[in-house]
Chains A and B, each alone.
Chain A
């Protein structure tokens, strides 16, 4: 049986949503990046409403935000893979991720997708992932988390 070979990438941007799925995605991408020494950036975007200026000091004062970035770095340190963890403030998460991927000339953008059903009905994909899928210039991987125990 032939060995599964991961597609090569030079530079990847990982979106950190701040949920339990972040560590899984960071580990997955770091494992794939390690053999080829690809560059990794992890980005957490804090959405700022229009009632505040974009440079308002909102995220910088939040311990929670720092924990999200620290958790991602902890995963890659353990694997000895360099990671640039950054915080962004933006009006729209999807647009910020696409801009960041373009600015870094990334050839891969990775997002996590929590498995959530809206009011027990349809599976909810949100608006960030469709935006990124539509607008990102590079490859996009969407990593859906497993269904929780007891979910249909």
Chain B
């Protein structure tokens, strides 16, 4: 497989190195000549010392025959431009972009980047999982990012305690589908009574968090994790 990596920072460097060791054909674009020379010394003549944001140089680097283009520079703007050109000008089958600011994820998806990798989002999710949160926990995004899987940890004071899921008023497009009780996950049935300590798993539009919070967590200030 021929992979074009744009951005010779730590991510691009180690990505290229691993791909080469796996037997793939790799070219790495790095616009800083000094850094490009340094990488060449370390992993060989696979570096094109030009700016990947310029179509001419993307072409010279073999973008038109690349199976995958991975834009992993430190600038979201650059990564978006690179993936756009690769996708629409060079007809590359698969584009992957590093997104540093999670707020840009929706834009990247909207503009047709095939896969986005958000280190910030990943670290954030990891931190959230390790903290005993009373808040809603965003577990994963689905589809093009318009849907999310959300976990609600029911605590004392939750308006859902002692009620059945069918009695709760869910936001439009949102549904509760499972409960984790005593470490065991089971489908959530309409007549089941919710208890303190239950972790309720919901799926719904990404903008339903506020309504879900109101129904499952309540407005009790103690139920809100400070500082997050």
Contacts and interface: CB of A to CB of B under 8 A. Distances in A.
A53 B65 contact: yes
Contacts of B60: 49-51
Contacts of B62: 49-52
B27 interface: yes
Which interface class (under 10, 10 to 19, 20 to 34, 35 or more) fits B?
Answer: 10 to 19
B61 interface: yes
A95 B60 CA distance: 19
A125 B65 CA distance: 33
Nearest to B46: A91
Which interface class (under 10, 10 to 19, 20 to 34, 35 or more) fits A?
Answer: 10 to 19
Contacts of A54: 25
Interface string A90-108: 1110110000000000000
Interface in B37-59: 44-46, 48, 59
Q: Which of A50, A51, A54 has the largest count of B CB atoms less than 10 A from its CB?
A: A50
Nearest to B64: A51
- Helix, strand, loop or mixed for chain A's interface? loop
Contacts of B65: 51-53
Contact of B27 (A50, A90, A94, A95): A50
A91 B27 CA distance: 10
Nearest to A93: B45
Q: Which of A51, A94, A95 has the largest count of B CB atoms less than 10 A from its CB?
A: A51
B48 A50 contact: yes
A22 B54 CA distance: 38
Interface string B163-194: 00000000000000000000000000000000
Q: Which of B25, B45, B48 has the largest count of A CB atoms less than 10 A from its CB?
A: B45
Given A50-B27, A53-B65, A91 B59 contact: no
Interface string B52-95: 00000001111011000000000000000000000000000000
